[in-house]
Homo-oligomer: A and B are copies of this chain.
Amino acid sequence: MKSVISLEEVSGVTLDVMRRIGLLLVSVSKEGKPNVMTIGWGFIGMLWGEPYFVIAVRPSRYTYTLLEESLDFTVNVPAKGLEKAAEYCGTFSGRDLDKFKACNLTATNAKVVKSPIIKECIIHYECIIKYHYDLNPKFIPSDVKSLWYPQDDCHRMYFGRITAVYADDDYKMKIP
């Protein structure tokens, strides 16, 4: 059973799992086919009086194409036992295969956005993209640039207004 929960209650756990294992970002094509990728970077906070989840996606990613089409996404915190799935979804591209099928993940309708959530995850954020900008390689520190952008494939930052947050009632027992 999944219930509405406050951003404050779950944001610390979300950042912790993001750093240690990764979060599962789900987007959907215009034909309704969902895709999932693992993210280790992102921000939770407030802007323009509302809560936002900011994600960073490179233009080379299949997810980038889907986000440009659907303009929404969900962020899902994997449960204990999904560590391998998080690794897999961060390694392979959804252009070539169905990662939901490959990892035994279930795409379930979200409450507000078109992108589905992942049923097996424990915390869910539904986000509507309100703004984006591209990191500018000119202003990135040179050590960061040589490490993360040797080919200038700079991230687009998507600002997703958080429209719903909910979690498994027993999520605390299932944190990975």
List chain A positions with a Cβ less than 8 A from chain B. 6-13, 15-16, 18-19, 40-49, 51-52, 54, 56, 130-133, 135-136, 139-141, 144, 147-148
Contact = CB atoms under 8 A, between A and B. Distances in A.
State the main secondary structure of chain A at its contact with B.
mixed
Contacts of A40: 46, 49
30 contacts: A6-B16, A8-B16, A8-B19, A10-B12, A11-B11, A11-B12, A11-B44, A15-B46, A18-B46, A19-B46, A40-B49, A41-B48, A41-B49, A42-B45, A42-B46, A43-B44, A43-B46, A43-B47, A43-B52, A44-B44, A44-B45, A45-B45, A45-B54, A48-B144, A49-B148, A130-B144, A131-B135, A131-B144, A133-B136, A133-B139
A43 to B, nearest CB: 3
Contacts of A42: 45-46
A139 B147 contact: no
Nearest to A45: B43
A172 to B, nearest CB: 13
